Amino acid sequence: MNGEDRGQANRTVSKGTVDDRAVRPAASIGAGSDLLQLDPHDAATGGLSGWLAGRLRRAIADGRLPVGSRLPPTRLLAAELRVSRGVVTEAYRRLTEDGHVVGRGRGGTTVVAAPVTAAAPAAPDTPAMPAASDASAGLFSGTPGTGIFDAVRAAGARIDLSPGVPELAAFPRGAWVRTERAVLAELPASALGYADPRGTPELRRAAADWLARNRGVRAHPDEVIVVAGTAQALGLAAQVLRADGIARVAVEDPGALGSRQHLEHWGIDTPPVPVDFRGVRVDALRATGAPAVLLTPAHQFPTGVVLDGARRRELMRWAGGDGGLVVEDDYDAEHRYDRPPVPALRSMLPERVLYAGSVSKLLAPALRTGWVLAPPALRDALVDAKRFADLGNPVLPQLVLARLMESGELERHLRLIRGRHRRRRDAMIAAIGARLPGAEVHGAAAGLHLMITFDAGFADADLADAALARGVKTQPLSWHRRRPGPPGLVLGYALNTPALIVEGIALIAEALATVRR
């Protein structure tokens, strides 16, 4: 079992042992020069070796001679092509010089590298997602499937008023690269190996400090588990809850379609609980009999309602007294304009709250970085779940982010975009007042989006489709609803300038005229 095993893998794999379509001539062309369509009469006079090398090069490039396969012995190929053996030897020599093949003495000549000019193979037959060009016709109609957010993202639109994204143009690119350079300059090599699945100590400490400063949550860094955003947090929570015998997690109604899809993918049943102007109805939650609930207490998605004090107390009785578990999705709580911050529920009852936050709304969703504080009883199971999900988040971005948080750079960034977001929100509210006089605005005191509702009379999916046809991307409120209710839209204002927002609202008004009857 030592080095002597070399060579053994390079024996001929004969065609026809299994389905011919499936098996490619992987390990040798054997006596199959016809397979490679070699005919010396194609060669220009006197250039037989060059011709043969070129043909073989092409066969390597297009996969007929894959890496690892062996060229036929020179004697055999020469006989088959009726050329002198020197012609073949010279062709092999040229390929060797190119670095495409390696001669192994009696081991034969083996393909080791394909030319990079290889033509691309054909696209797979079954695209896993609708093509962008199909996407704009009736995209929002019908029941949204698991790929709906990918399909909407792929749809082209000049003005993107989708909710859930901060101003991406403000991403601190310079600070990010400078910080990464500084991180790499000091990093011990061992930090590039496998790492703690719970995250780097640096980011766990920075997240604990951030939560204390900004969210009223006191957590030891050891309690923080770094995750790939709130989406992963929901998946890990669902796995841990299911293993703990919890297969039902109540959700807010209206509530985020995406979050519900995530829980349901992981086999969790999601009974709806109505939300009113004070937040989730805890009496209705109790009535579902669900042992757990997913909430967005600081700025309910999509309504923007803040869970009020009386409801918080009622919820804490449900959690503390009756043993309910709260999954707190604190997705955009750092963004607020006209009201003081609301402390996270986690600060009230750490034993019964699984807290999830992320930098998706602070910096960029593309970073796929967030954090979870598990209730103590679930912490070990959650660490196991994260380990077996991916062995932990990538290390470099964690270290960069930790420095941006500890240096105050992230707070500076937050102050910067908060001002810009406020102006954009104000522009949107003013435009709605001017162009959509029948629309009622909800939940605009915080976050990155607002909700508008209309008197009944049309399907909001039709409105979203008509707006998209005019180049404006929005989300229909009905996506996020379980019980029927008035039509509406969920509108993000962070991505666009005030001028584009005004134009977008005007286009929505045009679209509205076509769907209203």
- Closest approach, Cβ 313 to its own copies, in A, equals 6
| Least separation in angstroms between CB 482 and its own copies | 18
* Minimum CB distance to its own copies smaller for 81 or for 234: 234
Residues in the chain: 517
- Residue 224 has phi, psi (to 5 degrees) of -85, 135
Residue numbers 285-304 binding its own copies by CB under 8 A: 303-304
- Residue 84: CB minimum distance to its own copies, A: 27
What residues between 348 and 367 interact with its own copies by CB under 8 A?
348-352, 364-367
Tell me how far, at minimum, the Cβ of 366 lies from its own copies, in Å.
Answer: 4
Q: Which of 54, 85, 94, 149 binds its own copies (CB under 8 A)?
A: 149
What's the min distance (Å) between Cβ of 43 and its own copies? 27
Residue 441 belongs to what H/E stretch?
A: strand 440-442
Site for its own copies in 170-189 (CB under 8 A): 171, 173, 176-177, 180-181, 184-185, 187, 189
Residue 306 interacting with its own copies (CB under 8 A): yes
**Nearest CB to its own copies, comparing residues 325 and 451:** 451
When asked if residue 124 is in the footprint of its own copies (CB under 8 A), the reply is yes
Minimum separation from the CB atom of position 492 to its own copies (A)? 10
* Piece of 11-19, 281-289, 455-463, 471-479 that binds its own copies (CB under 8 A): 11-19
Q: Is 430 in the site for its own copies (CB under 8 A)?
A: no
Are 246 and 325 contacting, i.e. CB atoms less than 8 angstroms apart? yes
Q: Give the span between the Cα atoms of 419 and 417, in whole angstroms.
A: 5
Tell me how far, at minimum, the Cβ of 513 lies from its own copies, in Å.
25
Task: By CB under 8 A, name the one of 202, 223, 253, 460 that touches its own copies.
Answer: 223
Q: Distance between alpha carbon 309 and the CA centroid of its chain, in Å?
A: 35
Residue 437 as a binder of its own copies (CB under 8 A): the answer is no
CA dist 230 and 367 (Å) reads 12
For 452, the enclosing helix (H) or strand (E) is strand 449-453
- Judge whether 460 and 322 are in contact, CB under 8 Å: no
Residues 455-514 that bind its own copies (CB under 8 A): none
DSSP one-letter string for 229-298: HHHHHHHHHHHHHHHTT--BEEEEES--HHHHHHHHHTT-B--EEEEETTEE-HHHHHHHT-SEEEE--S
Among positions 90, 244, 308, 409, the unique one binding its own copies when judged by CB under 8 A: 308
Q: For 100-157, where are the E strands, in sequence order?
A: 101-103, 109-111
Strands (E), 290-352: 292-295, 325-329
Q: Pick from 216, 485, 486, 498: which binds its own copies (CB under 8 A)? A: 216
How distant, in Å, are the alpha carbons of 305, 319, 368 from that of 226?
Answer: 28, 25, 10
Name the residue nearer to its own copies (CB basis): 88 or 157: 157
Q: Are the C-beta atoms of residues 264 and 285 closer than 8 Å to each other?
A: no
CB neighbours of 325 closer than 8 A, spacing ≥ 6?
A: 241, 246, 291, 292, 293, 319, 352, 353, 354, 375
* Using rule CB under 8 A, residue 144 touches its own copies: no
**339, 423, 434, 457: residue in contact with its own copies (rule CB under 8 A):** 339
Residue 213 interacting with its own copies (CB under 8 A) = yes
Is the CB of residue 433 less than 8 Å from the CB of residue 439? no
Cis omega before residue 397 (within 30°)?
Answer: no
- Closest approach, Cβ 46 to its own copies, in A, equals 32
Q: For residues 391-420, which are near its own copies according to CB under 8 A? A: 391-397
Per rule CB under 8 A, is residue 347 in the interface with its own copies? yes
C-beta closer to its own copies: residue 389 or 506: 389
